[in-house]
Amino acid sequence: MPFGNLALLVMVVGYAAGACLSLLAPSDRAARWLTTIGAAIGCIGGVAAASSVLATRVSVDATLASLVSTAGGIVIHLDLLGAFFLLLVAALGLPAAVYGIAYTAEYEGRHSLRVFGLMFNGFLLGMSLVPCAGNVFTFLFTWELMAIASYFLVMTESEKRDTRQAGLWYAAMTHLGLVLLLPMFFLMAGGSEATAFADLRTTAAALTPGTRHIVFVLALLAFGSKAGIVPLHVWLPRAHPAAPSHVSALMSGVMIKLGIYGLVRVTFDLMSGGPAWWGGLLLAVGCVSALLGVLYALMEHDLKRLLAYHSVENIGIILIGLGAGSILHAQGLPALAAIGFAGALFHTVNHACFKGLLFLAAGSVMQQTHTANMEEMGGLIKRMPQTALCFLVGSVAIAALPPLNGFASEWLVFQSLLAGTSIQRPEIAVGFPIAVGMLALTSGLAAACFVKAFGISFLAMPRSNHAAQAREAHWSMRATMILLAGGCVTLGLAAPLAVRGLNRVIDSVPGLSAGEPLPRSPGLWLVGPGGSAQVSPLLIAVLLGAIALAVLVALHARGFQVRRADTWGCGRISQTARMEYTASAFAEPLRRVFTALYRPTEDLSVGVHPDSRYFVQSITYTSQVVPWFETAFYDPVTRGARGLAAQVRRLQAGFLHLYLLYVTVALVAALAVAWWFK
Amino acid sequence: MSRYIALFVQPLLALALAPALVGFIRWLKARLQSRRGAPVWQPYSEIRKLFGKEAVVSHTASWLFRATPFVVFGTGVIVASLAPIVIVPAGPLVVGDVFAAVYLLLLGTFFLALAGLDTGSPFGGMGASREMTVVALTEPTVALSIVALALNAGSTNFSQIVSRTLAEPSAALGPGHLLAFAALFIVTLAETGRLPVDNPSTHLELTMIHEAMILEYSGPYLALIEWAAALKLLVFLALAANLFMPWGIALSLSPVAVTVGVVSLVSKLGVLAVAIAVLETRVAKLRLFRVPELLSASFVLALLAVMSTFLVR
C-alpha cells in the first residue's frame, strides 16, 4: 500500500477508534484520554498524508465502489488543494485534542464525556475527509458528518438557554447551506449522471454562462453560510462562545475555512474560474464582512464572542484576496492574480494558527475566572504569565502587525489590491482603492480591538475575586498554546518559504494557476507585483531585537535603576480596580463615531428618594448594541417560519379519528398515483 | 559597503536632528505668541536629564510596561532606516516598503496603548482608547495616500516612488500628488499628536491623548518615548516633503550629494515646521468627537487624489 493511502487509513482508523473507545470507556477520566489519543493518532495520520501529497505532488486515491453504490460509492481523491486543507485541519486538530485532556476535566460528572468523545472524533473525521472527497456523495456525507457532530459539540452545555438557542441557529444556518449545495451540484452535472468531481469538471465546462452564474451564486451562498460571510454569519457569534473552547478553536480555526475550501474547489477548480464580476462580488462581500465583523467585535465584551466576530473579519480578508486575484485572473493578469490567491490562502493558514491560539488562551482564562466577560478579568498577566504572553502573540498576529504572520498575509493582500489598480479598464480598477481603504480601516480597528481585548483582560488590577485568584493553566494546555504561538512567529518570519509552498497549491488548480511557473521569491523576501515591492519580516524582527538590545545595554552601562511606587492618582489613598478604564469605556469613542451603524439603545433610570427628587438613591444605565440588519433580515424569516409551523400544527388536533382519516386519504392518494403512472 | 554604512548613519542623523525639530517648533510657537520661549536645544537637555534619572514604575505595571519603550524606540529607528530622509535607502538591508513602515509605527502605538492600560490609571486607559480611535481612523487615509503615490510609481517601495517623481517632475504638481499631500499632512498632525487633534503641551486630563497614555512613564523610559515621538514627527514630515518634493535628496553617497541632502532636508523640515507652528498658533484644539470629521475629510482628499490619478492616466 502506498504511503499516502496508509497514512489516510491510519487517520480514519485513529478517529474511529477514538470515537468508539471513548464511547465505551469505563470512566470519565478514561474517556477523556481515549478521546485525545484517538484524535491525536488521527491527526498525525492526516498530517502525514497531507504532507506526502504536498511534497510529492502525487494525489492519493481510494475507492469503495460497493459502499452505497447507487450514489457512486465512497471516492477519496486527495490532491494538492485538498492536502493543503487537510494539513490545516490535522495540524490544528492535534493541539486542540491535547488541550482537551485537561480542559474537559471540569466536565467530569456534569456532562457525558463519552458522547463528547464520540462527537469530537466524528467532527475531526468529518473535517479531515471533506477535503479528501472525490465525488458528490462523499463530499455531502462528510460535510453533514462535520455539521452534525459539531452541532452536538456546541450543545455540550445544553442546560444553558443561550447554548440551546445557539444550537438552533447553527443547525438552521448550516442546513440552509446544505439545501443550497444540492441544487448547485445538480446544476453542475448538467443533466448527466456525473457525480465524481473529475466528471463534473467536464460537465461544468459545457454549461451555458447563465447556469454557471447560478452555480457560482449558489456556491457563494452555501459555502458562505459555513464560512460566515455577512449577512449569513449570524450563527458564528452565537455558536462559538457556546462550544467548549478547544471546539471553538477548531470551528473558528478550520471548520469555517472548509467553506473557503468548498468555494475554491467549486469556483476555481471544478468551474476553473469565471468572469470578472465573480471576483468583484467576492471582493465586495469580503470588504463588507471584514469591516462589519471588526466593528461588531469592538462592541463585544464577551471574549469569545469578540473572537467569533473577528472570524467574520478574517474570512472577509481571505475573500478580498480571492476576489482581487480572480478579477486579475479574469483580466488576463494571472501572475499578479497569484499574489492575491497566495495572500488569501496564506491568510487561511495564519488565521487558523492565531485564532486557534486565541480561543485556547481564552479558554484557559475562562477556566480560571469562570466568566467570559472581560469586565470581570484583569491582572492576569501576573497570575497567568505564559497564557498572557501567548494571547499577546495572537493579538499582535491578528492585528496584522509586523513581524508576525498576520502582517505577512495582509501585506500580500494589499499588494494584490494595488496590482488591481493597474487594470486598464477604469470601471473595474476603481473598485480596488476603495477596497484598500476598507481593508486599512479594518486592520486599524482590529488593532484597537485587540488593545481592548488584551489590555482589559490581562493588564492592570484584577476586576473580580475569581480573576485575583486565577492560577496558570495546566501544563499540557500551556504547551499547546506555546506551540501555536511558535507557529505564529515561525509563519511570520518564514513567510517567503510558506508562500513558495502555497504557489505549488495555486499552480495545481486550473482557476488559480498562472499557467507558467511563478517567479520564486528571493531568499527572505516577500515580493509584490512585478517583483517591485519587498518586505522581509525576518530582518524586521532581527533589527528590532538588535536595536532594543543595544539600547538596553547602553542604559544598563549607565547604571539604570528602577524604583517601584504606586500609580499616580491625584492624591487618592489606594488604587482599586474600579478606577480602571473598562472595556465599554475603551470602545466608547468608536461607538460614538459609528453610532449611525450601531444604533445603540440606551436606558437610564434614576431612583430618587420619595421625599425629594434631589436625593438620588440609585442609577441604572444599560446600553445595548444589537446588529440591526440581523433583526431586519432574520426577524421576518423566523416570524414567517413560526407562522407556518402554527398553521401546520392545526393538522395535529389530537383526535384519533382525524388521524385515521389522514391515513385513509394518504393511502387512497398513493393508490391513485400508482394507478395513474402504471 | 557604503550603502550599509548609510543605512546606519541615516537613522542616527534623524535621531540627532529630531529633538531640534521639536525645539524649533516650540520656540517658534512661543515667539508667535509673544513669549520668549525656551531655546531650540532645550529638548536635548530634557532627554539628557531624563536619561540620568531613575525610572519609577508602578506596582500595578507588568513587564509589558517596561518593554514598551524599547519597542516604540526600535520601530521608530527601523522606519527611519528605510524611509527616504537624507538619502534614498536601497540595497538588501532596507527591510520593507511603505506598508511595512506604516505597520511598524502601528506596532509601536499598539504597545504604547497597552502600556497605558497596564498601570491601571484611568488617564492611561483614556489616552489608550483615544489614541487607538484616532489611529484606526487615520489608517484608511494613509493607505489611500500610499495608493495615490504607488499608482504613478507602480510600486510601494520608497526608492521607486522617489525616483519616479524625480523622473517626471510634472506629476509632482498634478492634482493627485497635491491632494495626497494635503491628506497626508492632516494625517501627520493626527498621528504625531499635534493640534488640532491633540495638544502636545497640555496636561489637562480631559484633553490629553498621547500625553495621557505616557503619563506613568519617567526617567530613561520617558526619554526613549519622547525621543521616539520626536523621531516619528521628523519621519512623517520628511516623508511628506520627500515623497512629494524629492528634489535635493541624495541619490548617490558622494559627500556633495549627502551634504546637499542634509541641507535640503533641514530647509524642507524648516518650512513644514513653520507651517505647523503657525497652524498651532492659529487653530484651537478640536473636540474629540469632531476629530473624525477632520479625518474623514482627509480620507475624502486621499480618495480624490486616487480618482484624479485615474482620470489623468
Q: Best residue in A555, A556, A576 to probe B by mutation, most B CBs within 10 Å?
A: A555
Contacts of B179 in chain A (CB under 8 A): none
Structure confidence at residue A280 as a pLDDT band (50, 70, 90) = very high
What's the whole-number mean pLDDT along residues A397-405?
Answer: 92
| A373: number of Cβ within 10 Å | 15
Give the per-residue SS3 of chain B: CHHHHHHHHHHHHHHHHHHHHHHHHHHHHHHHCCCCCCCCCHHHHHHHHHHHCCEEEECCCCHHHHHHHHHHHHHHHHHHHHCCCCECCCCCCCCCCHHHHHHHHHHHHHHHHHHHHHCCCHHHHHHHHHHHHHHHHHHHHHHHHHHHHHHHHCCCCHHHHHHHHHHCHHHHCCHHHHHHHHHHHHHHHHHCCCCCCCCCCCCCCCCCCHHHHCCCCCHHHHHHHHHHHHHHHHHHHHHHHHHHCCCCCECCCCHHHHHHHHHHHHHHHHHHHHHHHHHHHHCCCCCHHHHHHHHHHHHHHHHHHHHHHHHHC
- For A582-602, what is each residue's pLDDT tens digit? 888 899 889 988 888 888 888
pLDDT tens digits for range B18-70: 999 999 999 999 999 999 989 999 999 999 999 989 999 998 899 999 999 99
Looking at the structure, tell me whether residues A485 and A601 fall in a common domain.
no
Q: Does B101 touch chain A (CB under 8 A)?
A: no
| B157 in contact with chain A, both atoms CB, cutoff 8 A | yes
A539 & A649 share domain? no
Query: Does the residue A214 lie in any domain?
Result: no
Task: Report how many Cβ contacts below 8 Å link chain A to chain B.
Answer: 251
- All residues at 6 or more sequence positions from A544 whose CB lies less than 8 Å from its CB, including other chains: A403, B71, B74, B75, B78
A183-199: average pLDDT:
86
Q: How large is the ipTM?
A: 0.95
- Verify whether the Cβ–Cβ distance A558 to B215 is below 8 Å: no
pLDDT of residue A509: 86
Chain A CB contacts of B93 under 8 Å are: 539
Residues A508 and A635 occupy one common structural domain: no
8 Å CB contact between A178 and A147: yes
Comparing alpha-carbon positions, the chain B residue that sits nearest to A592 is: B289
Q: Are residues A621 and A635 in the same domain?
A: no
The reply to whether A468 falls in a domain is: yes
Inter-chain contact A562–B54, Cβ cutoff 8 Å? yes
**Interface contact flag, A568 B216, Cβ < 8 Å:** yes
For residue B22, the one-letter residue type is V
Q: Tell me: the pLDDT tens digits for A323-333?
A: 999 999 998 88
% of chain A beyond a pLDDT of 70: 98
B66 in A contact zone (CB under 8 Å): yes
- Ranking A657-671, B78-92, B112-126 by mean pLDDT, the lowest is B78-92
A445-454, A497-506, B84-93: the lowest-pLDDT one: B84-93
Number of compact structural domains in chain A = 3
Q: How confident is the model at residue B288 (pLDDT cuts 50, 70, 90)?
A: confident
Q: Are residues A529 and A618 in the same domain?
A: no
Cell of B30: 512661543
Residues A237-262: tens digit of each pLDDT: 999 888 999 999 999 999 999 999 99
Same domain, A543 and A638: no
Domain presence at residue A59: no
pLDDT score, position A561:
86
Rounded alpha-carbon distances, angstroms, from residue A438 to A422, B146, B176:
19, 14, 20
What is the domain range of residue B159?
A: 2-312
> What's the pLDDT at B243?
85
Residues of B in Cβ contact (< 8 Å) with A444: 106, 135-140
> What residues of chain B lie within 8 A of the CB of A461, using their CB?
60, 120
Q: Looking at the structure, tell me whether residues A292 and A365 fall in a common domain.
A: yes
Flag whether pLDDT at A354 surpasses 70. Answer: yes
| Any domain includes A411 | yes
Residue A456 vs residues A364, A459, B13, B21, B125: alpha-carbon distances, Å? 16, 6, 39, 36, 9
Q: Say how far apart CA A1 and CA A4 lie, in whole Å.
A: 8
What three-state secondary structure class fits A123?
helix
Residues A599 and A640 in one domain: no
- Whether B153 shows a pLDDT value over 80: the answer reads no
Which chain B residues contact residue A564 at CB under 8 A? 56-59
Mutate to test the interface with B, among A562, A584, A597 (most CBs of B within 10 A): A562
* Residue A622 shares a structural domain with residue A634: no
Considering its fold, how many domains does chain B have in total? 1
Residue A49 domain flag: no
pLDDT at A278 over 90: yes
Question: By percentage, how much of chain A surpasses pLDDT 90?
Answer: 52
The alpha carbon of residue B277 is apart from the nearest alpha carbon of chain A, in Å, by 28
Which tens digit of pLDDT belongs to each residue from B58-114?
A: 988 999 999 999 999 999 999 998 888 888 877 767 778 888 999 999 999 999 999
Q: Does some domain include residue A338? A: yes
Cβ atoms of A241 and A248 within 8 Å: the answer is yes
Regarding whether A610 and A635 lie in a shared domain, the answer is no
- Spell out which residues of chain B touch residue A460, defining contact as CB-CB under 8 Å: 60, 117-120
Whether the per-residue pLDDT at A190 is higher than 90: the answer is no
Determine which of B51, B53, B93, B121 to mutate to test the interface with A (most A C-beta atoms within 10 Å). B121
Higher pLDDT, A40 or A631: A40
**In chain B, which among 274-313 make CB contacts under 8 A with chain A?**
288-289, 292, 299, 302-303, 306-307, 310, 313
Mean pLDDT computed over every residue of chain A: 89
The verdict on B166 touching A (C-beta cutoff 8 Å) is no
Give domain status of residue A466, yes or no: yes
Does one domain contain both A316 and A456? yes
Tell whether A566 is within 8 A of chain B (Cβ): yes
Mutant choice from A534, A556, A584 vs B, greatest count of B C-beta within 10 A: A534
Q: Is residue A428 part of a domain?
A: yes
- Containing domain of residue A335, as a range? 274-514+524-549
